[in-house]
């Protein structure tokens, strides 16, 4: 019995010595070549170093337990780890040395699909037309985003905002999912989820017109109310900005050439047709969507903006509207 106890002790001592030697070796393991490692938003220091550099998880936990000052909160980013770095140097790099490989993309309110395509081309991320083509491939996204059921394109649900992407790993599908998730979280869940897909589509069409027709947030709900009244009374909505979309123009091209298309008949031009355009005409922001969801009911049927300050003037009758034209349009 005594011999067995001694044997167990010796085995324990030997195992402890082997463990200690392996742990000491772990402390001096060096990176064989400079490399970039990626940290995801859900990663910890242990999970990152285990996955990216092959470190032993148990030794990492022991090391951090013995050196609590090394327990750092790491940000989701890319880090360049230098050749010959050991665990101490790696942690210092991850504490102070994040490298920015992402670039910032800002999609503006009121942009349409042609604006976004041109913008991504200018950033060197895609070939011309690639974004337009991918946005038409709506079937691949419908299962995860119920608000797309009645949509003809992803375009109007790619929420205008600032995004960060890695130009070395840019994929349109991943980018679109990033934008759709933003729309889902900021717009669909808090504002639109009680509505049917058909009502959502109609609302976004209206909001896209409001987006271009009125810049002033405080006036958007009044303009939305006027447009809805016209629509329900089977009037022509009469929004100039709808004249361009059928011709696949960017916002700037539309602005420069609006007068050229204002009298054309197509499925978008509310100056020559009754009802709403076939689809939305741009990506509206949250204020335009809220205004369209909660329109202000007034006695007004008409509005116009002066050509100098963009001040809006309302009218109850066509006579008043014509008078405003004489006064404020120059």
Residues 196 and 263 in one domain: yes
Residues 93 and 110 in one domain: no
Q: Which pLDDT value is given to residue 97?
A: 61
Per residue in 7-42, pLDDT (tens digit) is 777 767 788 788 777 777 777 788 877 777 778 767
Distance CA 91, CA 25 (A): 17
CB 327 within 8 A of CB 308: no
CB 114 within 8 A of CB 249: yes
Q: Which pLDDT value is given to residue 228?
A: 97
Q: Which pLDDT value is given to residue 88?
A: 82
Residues 292 and 187 in one domain: yes
Residue 114 resides in a domain = yes
Residue holding tokens 């810049």? Answer: 215
Q: Which pLDDT value is given to residue 81?
A: 79
Length of the chain in residues, anyone? 330
Residues 61 and 160 in one domain: no
The alpha carbons of the chain give a radius of gyration, in whole angstroms, of 30
Residues 141 and 205 in one domain: yes
Residues 82 and 52 in one domain: yes
Residue ranges making up the domain that contains 117: 106-298
Residue 319 resides in a domain = no
Residue 129 resides in a domain = yes
Q: Which pLDDT value is given to residue 28?
A: 76
Distance CA 311, CA 79 (A): 50
Residue 64 resides in a domain = yes
Residue 46 resides in a domain = yes
If one counts the domains in the chain, the total is: 2
Q: Identify the DSSP state of 82.
A: P
Residues 186 and 160 in one domain: yes
**CATH value at residue 40:** 3.30.1490.480
Residues 190 and 237 in one domain: yes
Residues 115 and 92 in one domain: no
CB 142 within 8 A of CB 201: no
Residue 199 resides in a domain = yes
Burial class (CB in 10 A: 0-12, 13-18, 19+), 175: buried
| Low-confidence residues in the chain, pLDDT < 70 | 11, 41, 96-101
Residues 87 and 232 in one domain: no
Using the 3D structure, point to which of 51, 67, 99 is the last residue of a domain.
99
Distance CA 252, CA 301 (A): 28
Using the 3D structure, point to which of 82, 99, 116 is the last residue of a domain.
99
Residue 303 resides in a domain = no
User: For the chain, first and last CA: distance in Å?
Assistant: 110
Using the 3D structure, point to which of 48, 81, 99 is the last residue of a domain.
99
Residues 81 and 220 in one domain: no
| φ/ψ of residue 80, rounded to 5 | -95, 115
Residue 222 resides in a domain = yes
Residues 276 and 151 in one domain: yes
Element (H or E) spanning 115, and its range? Answer: helix 113-122
């Amino acid at each position: 019995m005594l011999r067995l106890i001694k044997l167990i002790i010796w085995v324990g001592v030997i195992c402890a010595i082997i463990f200690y030697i392996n742990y000491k070796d772990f402390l001096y393991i060096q990176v064989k070549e400079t490399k970039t490692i990626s940290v995801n938003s859900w990663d910890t220091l242990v999970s990152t170093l285990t996955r990216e550099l092959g470190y032993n998880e148990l030794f990492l936990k022991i090391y951090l337990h013995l050196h609590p000052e090394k327990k750092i909160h790491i940000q989701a980013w890319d880090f360049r780890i230098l050749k010959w770095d050991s665990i101490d140097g790696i942690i210092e790099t991850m504490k102070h040395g994040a490298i920015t490989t992402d670039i910032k993309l800002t999609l503006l309110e009121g942009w349409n699909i042609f604006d976004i395509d041109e913008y991504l081309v200018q950033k060197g991320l895609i070939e011309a037309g690639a974004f337009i083509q991918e946005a038409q491939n709506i079937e691949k996204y419908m299962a995860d985003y119920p608000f797309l059921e009645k949509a003809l394109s992803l375009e109007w649900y790619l929420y205008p905002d600032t995004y960060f992407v890695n130009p070395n790993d840019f994929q349109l599908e991943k980018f679109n999912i990033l934008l759709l998730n933003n729309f889902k979280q900021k717009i669909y869940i808090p504002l639109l989820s009680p509505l049917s897909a058909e009502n959502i589509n109609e609302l976004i069409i209206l909001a896209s017109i409001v987006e271009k027709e009125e810049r002033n947030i405080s006036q958007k709900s009044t303009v939305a109310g006027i447009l809805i009244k016209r629509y329900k009374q089977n009037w022509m909505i009469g929004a100039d900005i709808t004249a361009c979309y059928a011709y696949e123009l960017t916002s700037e091209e539309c602005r420069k050439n609006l007068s050229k298309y204002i009298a054309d008949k197509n499925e978008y031009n509310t100056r020559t047709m009754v009802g709403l355009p076939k689809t939305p005409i741009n990506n509206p922001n949250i204020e335009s969507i809220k205004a369209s969801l909660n329109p202000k009911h007034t006695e007004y049927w008409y509005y116009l903006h002066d050509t100098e300050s963009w001040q809006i003037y309302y009218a109850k009758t066509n006579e008043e509207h014509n008078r405003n034209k004489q006064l404020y349009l120059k």
